[in-house]
Amino acid sequence: MQRFEGRTAIVTGASRGIGLAIAQRLVDEGARVVITGRRPEALASAVAQLGGTDHALGVAGHAGDLDHQVDTVSRAVDVFGSADLLVNNTGINPVYGAMVDLDLDAARKIFEVNVLAALSWTQQVHRAWLDEHGGAVVNVGSVAGTKPAPGIGMYGASKAMLTHLTQELAVELGPDVRVNAVAPAVVKTKFAAALYEGKEDDVAASYPLKRLGVPEDIASAVAFLLSQDASWITGQLLVVDGGLTLTGGV
């Protein structure tokens, strides 16, 4: 299917893992993609994997930097002619432990990247393109935002707020812009490696589908929500978790 023929997507944090898989799925279905990340060399490799500069553009920078956001959106419109779709995929979790002992500077950093950056990216794309032309946004959340997640509580709290942000924006930006979110459980990426490396079979045993997720699982869900197949869906959180939350897990 070429559901995204003639459309341009911006995918943040897409030099590897879930973000790169999302970008690949969108390219496979006809989109041009603009991907972001911190390391130019990793982005160059990702662009090559996506089929080269006819299909993808990499823009290096920090996800929370306003100048980087404005530049990226401007380059998307200048190079590919539009900015129809946005995937807020960038997220961080630099600390592990009880929230009562959490360093507040770390908490602020998590909030700024996982929530405020997603809002700001949406603002910039809306001002540059979506307000006049319409389109769709998907935010990448987490099952950690659906219930208490001991050890990664601030990360979970930030993802819970991202879900609420998704709902607020869906109300504000309809009918021409749809805003949805996905909530993955553990996906086999470098970001989540500490949660499963050396114990994958044991971790997967708690999932009704008896396996961990792979980036392509999330990419297919995001592509659906961005596409016209989901044209009557907005403000929703699609849990993509192999059934984990059915058993009480996060």
204: which residues sit within 8 A by CB, 6+ positions away? 196, 210, 211, 212
Alpha helices for the chain (secondary structure H): 17-28, 40-49, 66-80, 104-111, 117-125, 131-133, 153-173, 200-204, 215-226
Nearest to 139 by CA among 156, 111, 155, 119: 119
| Residue 70 Cα to chain centre, angstroms | 18
Q: What is the DSSP string of 43-99?
A: HHHHHHHTTSTTTEEEEES-TT-HHHHHHHHHHHHHHHS---EEEE--------B-G
Angle, CA of 168, 10 and 221, to the nearest 5°: 65
- H or E, element range at 239: strand 237-240
Distance CA 91, CA 33 (A): 19
- H or E, element range at 235: none
Q: Please identify every residue annotated as catalytic.
A: 155
Q: Could you check whether the bond before residue 175 is cis, i.e. omega within 30 degrees of 0?
A: yes
